[in-house]
Amino acid sequence: MKDLLSVSNLSGEDISSLILDAVDMKAEGWLSLLDRKILAIIFEKPSLRTRVSFEVAMRQLGGHTIYLSSGEVGLGEREPVSDVARVLSRYVNAIAARTFSHQTLQILANYSSVPVINALSDLEHPCQALADLLTIYEKKGELSGLTLAFVGDGNNVAHSLLLAASLTGMNFRIASPDGYTVQDRILQLAQGYAVDSGAEIFCTDEPSLAVNGADVVYTDVWASMGQEAEAEERRQIFTGYQVNSELLPLAKEDAILMHPLPAHYGEEVAEGILDSPQSVVFDQAENRMHLQKALLARMLGGLEIPLAGYR
C-alpha cells in the first residue's frame, strides 16, 4: 500500500493490525521510529483535530512536519496539482492532504512518488473512521458482531465508517432522509465486503429503526464545510434526525455515543448530550493521533505488524 485515499485501500486484517499497533503506541508514548522523516500537510480546509493530531503524531514518532495552507500552495490554481505532487516528492517523505475534491487527492497520488494520505475529502475521511474503530475496540473489546447506527447525512464520514465496518464484520445501520443517503457505489462496495466478513448493512429513513438495540450511536453535522449555502435547507430536511434523550435510550443500555466534532449543538445533537456518560467524543478526538501514529509508522517506517519489541 503506497497511499491511503480510501478505507477500501485496506483489508479487514490491515485495520485490525493498525488498531492493535495504535493501542501499543498509545501505551508507549514517544518513539523514534521516523527519525529524519518529513510529512507535508496540505490543507484546503481549516482544521483543529486533523492538523494537530498529524503534527503531534509525527513529532512523537521522531519525525517532522511542514504545514502548507491553501493560500501558500493554491492546488490547481496557482500551480497544477500534478506539479505540486512531483515537487513535494523531492522534498518530503509523505503528504497528508485535506481537500474539497477527492479527485485532487487522486491526482496527487498519481503523480507523487511518496505516500499520500487522505486527511479528508468530499468522498471519504478514512483516518477519522479508523480512529473511531480504535475507540470502539477500546470501549467494547471487539468489533465483529457489534452494531453501529449512524444517524444523519450519508457524507464522507459515513462512507468511510460503512467501508470500515463492513471490512471488520461490524453491522452498519444508517438513517438518512431521502436524497441524502450514502453513494450507491460505496454501498455496493461495502456490501461486497460484508459477504466475506458477515457484517449486515441496513439503510432506512427512520432513525429509531437504525438506533434500536445498537452498540454504537454515531452522528455528524448536517452541513459539512463547503455546503454552507445549503445549511438552512438541510436544517429543515434533517428535522427529526437529532440524537437526543428520546432517541439514544433506544440503543443498548451500555451503548456509546460518537461524533467526529465539531458539533452543532441543537442540530444533529441535543444540547448537553455529548457531555453524558455514554459520550466518547473526546476519546475519539485523542485517538486520531494514536491511530495516525500507527499508520505513519507503517507507511514511512516499513513497519511490520505486530510491532517488534513493543507488544
Mean pLDDT confidence for 22-33:
94
Dihedral of the alpha carbons of 235, 241, 246, 248, in degrees to the nearest 10: -130
Which of 94-98, 102-106, 200-204, 220-224 is predicted with the least confidence, judged by mean pLDDT?
220-224
The domain of 155 spans 126-284
Q: How high is the pLDDT of residue 114?
A: 97
Q: Going by DSSP bridges, is the β-strand pair 94-98/116-120 parallel, antiparallel, or unpaired?
A: parallel
Which of 69-73, 129-133, 177-181, 285-289 is predicted with the least confidence, judged by mean pLDDT?
69-73
Shared-domain flag, residues 30 and 130 = no
Tens-digit pLDDT profile for residues 137-172: 999 999 999 999 999 999 999 999 999 999 999 999
Q: How high is the pLDDT of residue 301?
A: 84
Tens-digit pLDDT profile for residues 254-295: 999 999 999 999 999 999 999 999 999 999 999 999 999 999
Beta bridge partners of 203: 174
Shared-domain flag, residues 83 and 179 = no
Q: How high is the pLDDT of residue 302?
A: 57
pTM for the full model? 0.94
The domain that holds 114 is classified in CATH as 3.40.50.1370
**Burial tier of 247 (Cβ tally within 10 Å: 0-12, 13-18, 19+):** buried
Q: How high is the pLDDT of residue 308?
A: 37
In a domain, 306, yes or no: no
Which of 21-30, 248-257, 298-307 is predicted with the least confidence, judged by mean pLDDT?
298-307
Dihedral of the alpha carbons of 140, 146, 151, 157, in degrees to the nearest 10: 80
In a domain, 308, yes or no: no
Shared-domain flag, residues 218 and 253 = yes
In a domain, 205, yes or no: yes
Tens-digit pLDDT profile for residues 51-94: 999 999 999 999 999 999 888 887 877 899 999 999 999 999 99
Shared-domain flag, residues 18 and 115 = yes
Mean pLDDT confidence for 25-35:
93
Q: In this model, does residue 305 exceed pLDDT 60? A: no
In a domain, 310, yes or no: no
Shared-domain flag, residues 19 and 168 = no
Q: In this model, does residue 111 exceed pLDDT 80? A: yes
Shared-domain flag, residues 134 and 274 = yes
Shared-domain flag, residues 44 and 136 = no
Shared-domain flag, residues 249 and 136 = yes
Mean pLDDT confidence for 120-141:
98
Shared-domain flag, residues 162 and 31 = no
Shared-domain flag, residues 83 and 139 = no
Q: How high is the pLDDT of residue 11?
A: 97
In a domain, 30, yes or no: yes
Shared-domain flag, residues 110 and 176 = no
Q: How high is the pLDDT of residue 69?
A: 87
pLDDT > 90 fraction of the chain, expressed in percent and rounded: 89
Which band of pLDDT confidence, cut at 50, 70 and 90, is reported for residue 221? very high
Q: In this model, does residue 311 exceed pLDDT 70? A: no
Beta bridge partners of 219: 151
Shared-domain flag, residues 142 and 64 = no
Q: How many domains does the chain have?
A: 2
The helix/strand/coil state of 67 is: strand
In a domain, 309, yes or no: no
In a domain, 94, yes or no: yes
Please report the DSSP string for 227-286 in residue order: -GGGHHHHHHHTTT--B-TTTGGGS-TT-EEE--S---BTTTB-TTGGGSTTB-HHHHHH
Q: Rounded to an integer, what distance in angstroms lies between the CA atom of residue 103 and that of residue 99? A: 9
* Average pLDDT value over all residues in the chain: 94
In a domain, 35, yes or no: yes
Which band of pLDDT confidence, cut at 50, 70 and 90, is reported for residue 310? very low
